[in-house]
């Protein structure tokens, strides 16, 4: 990853950025290019956060109307910022000379490009360091500092050399979400989320959320949404190299059942919705059912993130998952009974699925209602894995953190997954959120600094 400074040479900054991922580094580089003195503090051994583990997909919805259709529970105000600022975010990335590998169409509606994300992070850090700022790793921010009037004016920090106070005109929380904390997942998302698999870096444990709440910041009114994917279960390994291989992106073309043999969600809404529905099932797990047609077209097809041809079933079995391949529905039902699933109910559920005539209290399917009738038939146990939490600190369109009365906590900003509200159980791009709101936070800080001067 990118090189970082090893000291806090100048303990005063125009912008103090807490968190060295995509949001923090986007903000830091934007401000540094405009002449601001910037300090970036990262808790981990190196910068990058979850962005460095991603495939570099920089995409979002093409219009606000599409954004609202795909994300009806999210913030319209923040969504407007995302859509309006996304073209300039693409221009910003291109201006740094970052490679674009291919154009993207994501979840039918999203548009963007795959970029060299590691190169982007490196170049952002280089801009900060070459502009006289500092990007420092292995630093723990203990508390934010407030003046008598409640303005955030910096932070108390600790590293291997001891403690220090860094003062700043503006402070940005860009620490990621709280997905790395089992305790916070259980508190805010669902009791089953405590044992949910983590599909991101392990340093995103809600540090920014806790720092903000301690100085009077408000959290979003809802905190239970998250972005993630279904992965095979059980999984005897789940390292970053497995994040893509074990993710069952095709679940929107499947039938999902619980241990009662019942459907519980509209699978066609997408894997990003299915993962949340599975989490809330009694076992926090489910079974994916597909036939040979779906296996050929979706399971063994080009991977959604890399474009490479990956046999998801083989990867799952190699990682220890429970899996069945059967020549008939009755044979599959017998295998499911051994797992503890109600096989008789499964047969009835599949029959309704194939005819499209559902019970009154059964979820309807809005898209891709092709019947599962071509043998062999397959069953794979799946479980949820979280990439980032969607609840967080309440922010306004300028990325200013708000207090419980809805007014800004002066001097405090948040971007990326540290600032909640943009998405609610839906998704329209993680890197886009980070780059857009990181840059928006930097512009807000530059504007406020200019007003003071």
Which pLDDT tens digit goes with each residue over 296-355?
A: 999 997 655 555 678 999 999 999 999 999 999 999 999 999 999 999 999 999 999 999
Q: Is residue 364 part of a domain?
A: yes
Q: Is residue 187 part of a domain?
A: no
Q: Is residue 194 part of a domain?
A: no
Residues in contact with 198: Cβ distance below 8 Å, sequence separation at least 6, in sequence order: 179, 180, 238, 385, 386
pLDDT given for residue 369 in this prediction: 75
Q: Is residue 37 part of a domain?
A: yes
Q: Which strands make up the sheet holding 110-115, listed edge to edge?
A: 57-60, 110-115, 100-106
Q: Which of 367, 386, 405 is the last residue of a domain?
A: 386
Which pLDDT tens digit goes with each residue over 73-88?
A: 999 999 999 999 999 9
- The token duo for 435 is 């780059």
206 and 251 belong to one structural domain: no
Q: Say which DSSP state 99 is in.
A: P
164 and 34 belong to one structural domain: yes
pLDDT given for residue 2 in this prediction: 38
CATH number at residue 304: 3.90.700.10
61 and 208 belong to one structural domain: yes
- Per the structure, the complete domain to which residue 79 belongs is given by 12-181+199-222+390-452
Q: Say which DSSP state 107 is in.
A: T
Is residue 227 classed as helix, strand or coil in its secondary structure?
strand
What are 100's strand-pairing partners? 115
pLDDT given for residue 1 in this prediction: 39
Q: Are 126 and 97 in contact (CB under 8 A)?
A: no
264 and 148 belong to one structural domain: no
48 and 168 belong to one structural domain: yes
CATH number at residue 214: 3.50.50.60
Q: Which of 386, 405, 436 is the last residue of a domain?
A: 386
- What is the tally of structural domains in the chain? 2
pLDDT given for residue 6 in this prediction: 43
Q: How far apart are the first and last CA of the chain?
A: 36
Q: What distance in Å separates the CA atoms of residue 256 and residue 250, rounded to the nearest whole number?
A: 11
312 to each of 343, 376, 385, how far by Cα in Å? 24, 16, 16
337 to each of 186, 230, 324, 348, how far by Cα in Å? 30, 22, 12, 14
Q: Is residue 192 part of a domain?
A: no
Q: Whose CA is closest to 32, among 150, 128, 142?
A: 128
Query: pTM here?
Result: 0.93
pLDDT given for residue 308 in this prediction: 67
Q: Is residue 3 part of a domain?
A: no
Q: Whose CA is closest to 276, among 167, 392, 185, 346?
A: 185
Q: What distance in Å separates the CA atoms of residue 170 and residue 400, rounded to the nearest whole number?
A: 10
pLDDT given for residue 452 in this prediction: 62
**Per-residue confidence of the chain (453 residues) as pLDDT tens digits?**
334 444 444 589 999 999 999 999 999 999 999 999 999 999 999 999 999 999 999 999 999 999 999 999 999 999 999 999 999 999 999 999 999 888 988 888 999 999 999 999 999 999 999 999 999 999 999 999 999 999 999 999 998 889 999 999 999 999 999 999 999 999 999 999 999 999 999 999 999 999 999 999 999 999 999 999 999 999 999 999 899 999 999 999 999 999 999 999 999 999 999 999 999 998 899 999 999 999 999 999 765 555 567 899 999 999 999 999 999 999 999 999 999 999 999 999 999 999 999 999 999 998 877 999 999 999 999 999 999 999 999 999 999 999 999 999 999 999 999 999 999 999 999 999 999 999 999 999 999 877 765
* Cα dihedral value 299, 305, 310, 316, nearest 10: -70
pLDDT given for residue 305 in this prediction: 52
Q: What distance in Å separates the CA atoms of residue 94 and residue 92, rounded to the nearest whole number?
A: 5
pLDDT given for residue 215 in this prediction: 98
Place of tokens 């005819």: 355
Q: What distance in Å separates the CA atoms of residue 361 and residue 348, rounded to the nearest whole number?
A: 15
Q: Which of 365, 386, 407 is the last residue of a domain?
A: 386
85 and 21 belong to one structural domain: yes
The residue ranges of DSSP E strands in 349-406, in sequence order, are 377-389, 393-394, 400-402
22 and 107 belong to one structural domain: yes
- The token duo for 300 is 């063994």
334 and 308 belong to one structural domain: yes
130, containing H or E segment: helix 117-130
Q: Is residue 186 part of a domain?
A: no
382 and 394 belong to one structural domain: no
149 and 93 belong to one structural domain: yes
Q: Is residue 4 part of a domain?
A: no
Q: What distance in Å separates the CA atoms of residue 256 and residue 253, rounded to the nearest whole number?
A: 10
434 and 358 belong to one structural domain: no
168 and 273 belong to one structural domain: no
Q: Say which DSSP state 297 is in.
A: I
């Amino acid at each position: 990853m990118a090189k970082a400074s090893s000291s806090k040479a100048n303990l005063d900054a125009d912008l103090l950025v807490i968190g060295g991922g995509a949001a923090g580094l986007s903000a830091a580089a934007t401000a540094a290019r405009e002449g601001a003195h910037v300090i970036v503090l990262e808790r981990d051994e190196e910068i990058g956060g979850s962005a460095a583990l991603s495939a570099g997909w920089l995409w979002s919805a093409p219009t606000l109307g599409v954004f609202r259709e795909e994300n009806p529970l999210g913030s319209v105000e923040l969504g407007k910022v995302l859509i309006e600022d996304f073209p300039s975010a693409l221009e910003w990335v291109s201006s740094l000379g970052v490679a674009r590998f291919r154009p993207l169409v994501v979840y039918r509606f999203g548009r963007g490009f795959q970029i060299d994300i590691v190169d982007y992070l490196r170049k952002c850090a280089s801009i900060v360091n070459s502009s006289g700022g500092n990007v420092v790793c292995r630093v723990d921010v203990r508390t934010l500092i407030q003046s008598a009037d409640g303005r955030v004016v910096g932070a108390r920090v600790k590293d291997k050399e001891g403690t220090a106070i860094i003062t700043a005109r503006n402070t940005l929380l860009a620490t990621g979400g709280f997905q790395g904390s089992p305790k916070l997942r259980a508190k805010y998302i669902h009791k089953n989320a405590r044992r949910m698999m983590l599909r991101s870096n392990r340093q995103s444990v809600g540090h920014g959320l806790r720092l903000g709440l301690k100085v009077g910041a408000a959290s979003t009114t809802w905190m239970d949404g998250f972005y993630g994917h279904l992965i095979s279960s059980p999984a005897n390994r789940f390292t970053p190299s497995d994040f893509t291989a074990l993710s069952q992106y095709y679940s929107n073309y499947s039938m999902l059942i619980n241990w009662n043999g019942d459907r519980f969600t509209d699978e066609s809404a997408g894997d990003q919705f299915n993962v949340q529905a599975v989490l809330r099932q009694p076992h926090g797990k489910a079974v994916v059912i597909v036939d040979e047609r779906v296996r050929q077209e979706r399971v063994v097809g080009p991977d959604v993130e890399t474009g490479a041809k990956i046999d998801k079933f083989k990867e799952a079995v190699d990682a220890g998952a429970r899996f069945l391949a059967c020549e008939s529905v009755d044979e599959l039902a017998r295998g499911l009974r051994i797992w503890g699933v109600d096989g008789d109910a499964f047969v009835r559920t599949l029959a309704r699925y194939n005819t499209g005539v559902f019970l009154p209290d059964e979820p309807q399917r809005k898209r891709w209602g092709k019947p599962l009738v071509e043998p062999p038939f397959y069953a794979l146990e799946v479980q949820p894995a979280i990439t980032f939490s969607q609840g967080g600190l309440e922010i306004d369109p300028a990325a200013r953190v708000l207090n419980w009365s809805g007014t800004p906590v002066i001097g405090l900003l948040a971007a990326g997954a540290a600032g909640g509200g943009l998405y609610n159980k839906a998704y329209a791009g993680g890197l886009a959120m980070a780059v857009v709101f990181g840059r928006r936070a930097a512009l807000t800080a530059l504007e406020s600094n200019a007003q003071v001067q």
